[in-house]
Structure 1
């Protein structure tokens, strides 16, 4: 009996979908009164005061989840697959913003405030997307951003991501909160890897990590400065209640503990807090005196702090609101980029992240002055959905979209992307 009811429910769903399609279809006029479906559809049409224009003839989400990364049309196709495969608590941690998640949403909606101004009759039969950062050439300005705990989405974690970066030729940045060592990730990448640092409450611990990373061969150190307090991750708190597992199964030393972060191995962490509420610009000066690595400050959102970055001799600035995971201030990261660019005036490279989901998003950030653009959650969707092939496909899609946008905009190379190609509601940016 239950199977029969399920079958009937499926038929009802199909019928509703068909009625919706018929109500929107110009073929409805040809249907006449030949069957009940046509009568029902006409009744639906009579209840419409105005139909949307353009009509949506295909769903924005797949009716069936993709079973192969090659079937993905855009990066969003990976998210629902990851949701079905990744444990609820792990997925929720990645998906969460904080508080009302206003900033999380603004990171996406703010891109719509910027429109592109295409230039015509330019030869874009050959497009060069390559960039150079600190002397190294990369095929694309799209970078795999540092994200913590990749093993929550795939057993190989950061090693899997590094292999995907190698396969696609992308730069990747290892998070201090990752579950793999800098040495192992460099070995898997077989090439340059940058390192992102959470400073902790102890400058001496931070310096020990920095010395290890430099010895391993990482040429660039990113210091994250926007995690200086607690955060209320409501989506995480609610969704993890649906996860029946005991947390100690994954987090034997406690969630987010130093023991879960192998780049702290061999360092005395007694009394050390992993948060860095006590960090000041003096710490940046100390790091500058400690290492020969290039230093990028990650989490800068204002012109005042951008100027201080220059004053303290950093080598690069990373405009980011941590994907809406630091504070719920309400501004999308893309809206913060122009004021940082105005101050730096090309003196140091600028990286950008938060809310990037399309190749056109990458282009907009580049037109506003970013030298490279990092992507986070989308590659985690790919990682959780299909492992290394999923990460590779996500990055391939973004790169393809970015290259296509360059062609549409008449930009044959990165140098051709400029501020005149973008317009913001109310005036030029």
Structure 2
């Protein structure tokens, strides 16, 4: 039964050419697929359940959109939106860890560790074998050999799960942080040419992993093992990109699918097709097995290097706030279930874009004009060099954040820390004035 499921989804992916877009709109549509497969999972309410009466819409310096006042599930193994957000942060942090280690004179050995698996095995079974093998691998006798031969002083480990012809394929991408000062002079990484160092590292890691899997009652395949020594900054970035690759991206290896690919099949295939049923069944199995598993693990000096050279946490620019009624129309109205409005709001990066989305929601709800209170614009920093609204603040005083309450009538009420006043449309920046002026 299990082998038939894998064959069904792999054949569909091969014949239909999956749409592997992973922008915000695609993430939200895949999140909808999670909701249909796991209706009681917390991911089903992610970015849908409100935490207050107003939703704050902001943009970061990098151009990303942030929504405040909505529930974020944080289930990065399951939810495509939370996975993308979590992995982006982890990738930046781990890139700093590896780069700092290399700048300090260290080297990196990257490896993929896996165990044998078959199509008839449950994912929980294969994951347990992998977990047990890693615990044995980290035990003192085996790990001591790695320290002696490679000078291992830390590691960065990431868990990944894919689906292939032989069933579930959980594996560990591990970057071993090595210090030549710890290893003996004749350690394998110091043996002449780069190729000799590569061959030596491969032999050491393969021997250690083979012992670990045997003690854990699992078996490992030499063909599935990969290692490489890394020293240059460019290669550090390459190895991080490979180690932390997003589960929503396509793979270079043919015949392999990610959990996100299972969601794509469930989303894009015919609702009553066997492909959709099998993809949904496999994703449910994945969701159950992956619960409480750690996606990323740091050990040794990797823990002490986290946070080094990190930029200050950026303060997003608030574009405005949306009322609960408007947000419910955007996310729950029957005519909005195709997700276009929801995706549009989650991708807003300008005030005029925010106005457009709320206007469309008002029209969808049958309002001839934008209802009072549906949208509040925050006027502070405007892109493109546009000036903020002058509200009578004297020179040399700190200007408080200003708010434009956009309703069905004009003039517009501007509110800041010193009070409120009416402002003519001409006082607003051009782009916002055009958008506001067209309401109703």
TM over 0.5: no
Q: TM-score range by the shorter chain?
A: under 0.3
Question: Which structure has the larger Rg over C-alpha atoms?
Answer: 2
Which structure shows the bigger proportion of residues in strand conformation?
A: 2
Higher RCO, 1 vs 2 (CA within 8 Å, ≥6 residues apart): 1
